[in-house]
Structure 1
C-alpha cells in the first residue's frame, strides 16, 4: 500500500510539473542573446505583415506602454508592413535609404523635425509570414533572408531583432516549431528574439476566456496586440510592465494578467533570472 501511495504521489508531481511549466519550455534550443545592447533606443522600425498592423499597429501600443512607464521617454517608430508578406517580400535596404522612410517626424503640434539620415533607426524588429519559418516550401527562405536582412540592418547602423509570431489557434503544434525556428535564427545572427508566440500559448492555456485571436484563428484581437506589445516591451527594454496604468481599455485584472504573462514568459525564455 505504501509503495502504491508513493507511486501515486510521484505521478501527481510529474503531472503538476507538466501543468505548471510555462510555454517558454517549447523552445528546445536556448537563446544566446539576452539584450539588443541598446538600453534606450530612440527609434524602431517594424518590418512585417498584418500581425503587426492589426488594431492600429503594434507600435501604437508600445508607445502608450512607454508613456505610462516613463512619460519623458520619446521613441520614434515606423511600420513597413505588407499583408501576407514574408521576409523575402521586403527590400530592407530601401527602408534605410536617405530622404525616405523615417525622414521626418510630425509632433502633436504639427511641428516637423527632420531626422538624422545617417542613423534612421536604432532597432529593426522583423517578422516573417505566419507559416514561413515552418512551411516545407518556404523555411529555407526564412533562414536565408534572416541572415541577409540582419547584415543589411547592421550595415545601416541598426540592430536586428526577430519577433517570434504565434501559432494558429487551431494548430497549437506550431508554437514549438516557431519557437525553435526563431531561436535558431536569433542565435545564428546574434540577435534578440521577442517570444510573443510563447506568451500567446501560455495565455491560451491558462486563460482561454481572454480572446487573443480574431475569428480567423490567426490575427490578433486588441487583447492579442496588447500582449504582443507587452512582450516586445519586456524583451527590448528589460522593464517590468506589471502594474502599468496603460491597460488598453481592458479590465484591470485582464490587463495585469497579460502584463504578468509577458514579463514572466520573456524572462524565462531569455533566461534573465528575474
Structure 2
C-alpha cells in the first residue's frame, strides 16, 4: 500500500531562505513489485544508474520484483522527450509505479540566477506530470547537480526542482543536494574529468538517493559492489551482467551519512 508522507527540504537559497514542503508517495516495502521508468539523459544513464538502483532495491528488500527502464539520450531535455514521444508512449501504455523525470542540468546557465529562467523545464514538467497522474503513476523529480567549476549554480537548480515539485505536490530525489554536501568530502570523487558527468561513485549516489526517496528510509548499510545489465545506446540492455561499480566500505558509509543529513 502506498503511504502519504511529507518532507521538509531546505531550499538553500542565497536570496530567500525558505522551507519547502514536498508531498508525495513512497513505496511500501511489503509490496513485492516495483516498476520505475527513468526519463532523462546522460546524467541518469551513465554507469547504468537505473540498474544500480534495481540492484540496491534487491539488496535492501529481497524478494521485490523490480522493473527499471530508461528512456533518453545525451543532452535530452524534457521538451525533447515530449516532442519525440517515446516516453509519453511508455507512460500512457505501460503501468508504472513511478516516473523519474530528470531535466537538462543547466537551464541555460547564463540566466540561472533569474527565477524565471527554467520556464521551459517548468512547462514540460507540468505536461509530463499530467500524463503521469492520468496513468495512476507518481511523478518524482531527479534533482541534478551543478558543474564542478560552478558550485554557486546548485542553489538555482535546487530552487527550480523544489519549486516545481511543490507546485505539483510531487516528490524530489535531492541528488544535487547530496552531491553538494559530498563535494566537501575529498575521499568521494563524484565528477569525471569533464567536470560534468558522474563517476561510478556519482551514479551510485544518485541510485541510492532515488532508493531512499521512494522507500522513505535510509539503510544503515549498503553494498558497494553492484552488478547489473549495462545500458547501451537507445536504452537497450546488455545480454550479460557486468560489474557496475565497486566502492570501498568507507565511501559507502560517508554517502549514507550525508544522505541521512539531507533527507532527515
Match of 2:250 among 249, 253, 257: 253
Distance 2:104 2:178 in 1: 18
- 1:35 maps to 24
Moved over 4 A (4+): none
Computing the radius of gyration from Cα coordinates, the structure with the larger value is 1
| Bigger fraction of residues in strand | 2
Change (3 A) 1:237 1:134: farther
Q: Give TM-score scaled by structure 2 length.
A: 0.78
1:63 is paired with a residue of what secondary structure?
A: helix
- 2:191 maps to 213
Task: Report whether the alignment pairs 1:122 with 2:122.
Answer: no
Distance 2:148 2:96 in 1: 34
Q: Alpha-carbon deviation of 1:246? A: 4.3
Match of 2:72 among 70, 81, 92: 81
Change (3 A) 1:135 1:182: farther
- Matched positions, count: 226
The answer for unaligned runs of 5 or more in structure 2 is 1-8, 226-244
Match of 2:212 among 234, 237, 243: 234
1:2-32 C-alpha deviation (Å, 9 max, x unpaired):
xxxxxxxxxxxxxxxxxxxxx9562544332
Q: Alpha-carbon deviation of 1:242? A: 2.7
Change (3 A) 1:229 1:118: same
Change (3 A) 1:226 1:168: same
The answer for unaligned runs of 5 or more in structure 1 is 1-22, 103-116, 268-274
Change (3 A) 1:67 1:89: same
| Contact 1:133-1:142 within 8 A present in 2 as well | no
Change (3 A) 1:191 1:82: same
